[in-house]
């Protein structure tokens, strides 16, 4: 049975944009890490990830605050990121264990995602490729500053994605032109 998030997540145009983005395989140590570190410092949230979402999984390209060795990847059905990718809108949860949208979701136990805030990361064409999200293992009311911080830094991450996409396109054009 198809769940309403599946068509948007598995959209061929979005998946092609993700492939063109060259984000797959990135493992932190760059601008994404710096943006996430800033978000954690400003909000005081204990954990955060920047993800990409392909047809089957959510995978972190940056992550902080998780136990050593924890794989920061999950099937899409076990990730709150699906809500952001499907709608393009922020998804904010104060207590996932009782919120009807998330109650029983495996992300609660696997990642300690009791409170969660996520914003879309888009490419230059507006395709949602992943999320910028913070989480807490306890219920939390996200403040206006928390929300503004995540929204602003998600836009900065989207700008970084657009820049990387443009660079990849230029490199491809140069290669095709024999330069």
Most distant pair of Cα atoms in the chain: their distance: 58
Kind and range of the H or E run holding 59? strand 57-64
The SS3 assignment for 97 reads: coil
All structural domains of the chain with their residue ranges:
6-176
3-class secondary structure, 105:
coil
**Helix or strand holding residue 35 (H, E):** helix 31-43
- Three-state secondary structure call for residue 73: strand
Torsion sign across C-alpha atoms 53, 161, 64, 26: positive
Which residues have a Cβ under 8 Å from the Cβ of 89 and sit 6 or more positions away? Answer: 120
Question: Can you give the pLDDT at residue 139?
Answer: 96
Residues of the chain with pLDDT under 50: 1-3
Taking alpha carbons only, the member of 136, 91, 82, 94 closest to residue 111 is: 136
State residue 1's pLDDT score.
33
Task: From the options 3.20.20.60, 3.30.70.1560, 3.30.450.40, 3.40.50.12780, give the CATH code of 6-176.
Answer: 3.30.450.40
Look at residue 157 in the predicted model and tell me its pLDDT.
Answer: 93
Q: Is 18 helix (H, G, I), strand (E, B) or coil?
A: helix
* Residues 138, 96: Cα–Cα separation, whole Å: 9
| Residue 149 exposed, middle or buried by CB count within 10 Å (0-12, 13-18, 19+) | buried
């Amino acid at each position: 049975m198809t769940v309403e998030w599946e068509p948007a997540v598995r959209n061929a145009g979005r998946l092609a944009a993700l492939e063109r983005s060259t984000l797959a395989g990135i493992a932190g140590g760059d601008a994404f890490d710096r943006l996430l570190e800033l978000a954690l410092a400003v909000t005081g949230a204990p954990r955060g990830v920047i993800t990409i979402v392909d047809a089957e999984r959510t995978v972190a390209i940056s992550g902080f605050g998780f136990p050593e060795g924890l794989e920061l990847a999950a099937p899409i059905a076990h990730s709150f990121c699906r809500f952001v990718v499907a709608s393009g809108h922020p998804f904010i949860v104060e207590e996932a264990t009782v919120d009807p949208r998330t109650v029983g979701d495996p992300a609660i136990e696997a990642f300690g995602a009791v409170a969660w805030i996520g914003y879309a990361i888009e490419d230059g064409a507006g395709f949602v490729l992943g999320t910028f999200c913070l989480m807490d293992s306890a219920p939390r009311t996200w403040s206006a500053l928390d929300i503004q911080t995540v929204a602003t830094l998600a836009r900065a991450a989207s700008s970084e994605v657009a820049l990387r996409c443009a660079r990849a396109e230029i490199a491809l054009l140069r290669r095709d032109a024999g330069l």
